[in-house]
Amino acid sequence: MKLIILAGGSGTRLFPLSRSCYPKQFLKIAGQKSLLQQTVERFARLVKAEDILIVTNKDYIFHVQADLAEIGAEAAHIITEPVARNTAPAIALAVAYCKDKMECEANECLFVSPADHVINPVEDFQKVVEAAEAICKNSDNIVTLGVNPTKPETGYGYIHAEAEMVGEGFKVESFKEKPDLATAEQYLAQGGYYWNAGMFAFSVQTMEKALKNLASDVYDISSLGYEHALDRFEDMPNISIDYAVAEKTKNIVVVPMGTVNWNDVGSFDAIDEVLQTENGNVISGDVITTDSKNNMILGSNRLVSTIGVDNLIVVDTPDVLLISGKGKSQDVKKVVEKLKAQKRKEISENVTMYRPWGSYTILAEGDGFKVKKITVNPGAKLSLQMHYHRSEHWTVISGTGKLTLDDKVVIFKENESTYIPIAVKHRLQNPGSIPLSIIEVQNGRYLGEDDIVRFDDVYGRSID
């Protein structure tokens, strides 16, 4: 079996924690590991790292690589979508890669999982996956996993199962769109309905046949091989695997997940269900509560204190404070829409921004100046660049830096400083074995991140 993890989403339903520059699959919400890392480790007993394929987009590849390195899964394959085209083209591209690059046979079982869910107990979930794999191997069915509903949820689509069994699963009668409350209550009372978790298992030949018969506009491109599919990816339609295949095919089986707990962490109310409760409050960070109950308070780098408030969601980040009533967090999308309309930078930027060489954090900024803390990973280096509108002053606070300044090379260590004039080529490198941290003070009339002229870059970013 090969595992395909879909990790290209850039949703902002968890704004301000999740933003387009750092979506939720990389957040460490439930534990000390990111949701992507938890997804990889969830399948550790079932597949080797080299049998994992992660589909993401070009902006996130360095996040994926860093997450995999932290858990010793560097051998996993990574492919990047040139543009966002939903799950049907992403899966078709992954199937083509599995055939061409991972040498999968026609009867090889592929399991598709999102990268941003919380699932436990892991051992029970693995048994469900094994049941899905068994059906995949012994039939021409597509298999999907169904979550046993615990309440009349209106935020999920449903799968209606027939009584006819296939292995440990049931033939699917139909897929249902997100229902209203009365309909959801009816589904729960009637039984045989499951939440759609977006996980699938199928053989290579089964999916290719389904795409050919049901989504020819996807198949016609993907069937010509991985390289061709990659080149023509933007010509594929923007369509989910549910609409393109699952809801149309007659050869689909649902395997119930039984007592396995599943949460798609799609809202702050959903996070509230995942995190531990402390005296009725879900708390993370430096938080002090007084006469407050049933709140979820997620702090960051400063003290958050509440007095006499109930049933609130408070999310504090360095540049955005979100306060919502419980049960209203789905409306975060309305805030995001307003911010997009105003072209606010908070949608796409964060105080801490990650780069392939490390990260930077904005400490202060004002008219004509900006102060950053820059961290460069061991052995990494920034592009050879210059700026037309700003000068920079660097001071090392830890580690050792190597500076290329025009045709000179300078080594500077802790408590040492250097100055980079306007329009001078320069490059910062960390030659050491520990992270390099510097304080950068920028001065100039324009301090935008687009004032970078690159002459050379080891990470393949565009050269001016």
Mean pLDDT for 313-326 is: 94
Task: Return the pLDDT at 218.
Answer: 96
pLDDT digits (tens, 9 = 90+) for 85-134: 999 999 999 999 999 999 999 999 999 999 999 999 999 999 999 999 99
For residues 260 and 148, give the distance between their C-alpha atoms in angstroms, rounded to a whole number: 8
Q: Tell me: pLDDT of 49 over 80.
A: yes
pLDDT digits (tens, 9 = 90+) for 1-39: 999 999 988 777 899 999 888 899 999 887 889 999 999
Phi, psi of 332 (to 5 degrees): -55, -30
Q: Is the dihedral of CA 383, 386, 388, 393 positive or negative?
A: positive
To 5 degrees, how large is the angle CA 153–CA 159–CA 163?
125
Q: Tell me: pLDDT of 278 over 70.
A: no
Look at residues 156, 128, 155 and name the one whose alpha carbon lies nearest to residue 144: 128
Q: Is 408 exposed, middle or buried (0-12, 13-18, 19+ CB in 10 A)?
A: exposed
Contact 203, 139 (CB under 8 A): no
Percent share of the chain, pLDDT over 90: 83
pLDDT digits (tens, 9 = 90+) for 377-392: 999 999 999 999 999 9
Task: Return the pLDDT at 53.
Answer: 98
Percent share of the chain, pLDDT over 70: 99
Place of tokens 């769109």: 177
Task: Return the pLDDT at 462.
Answer: 81
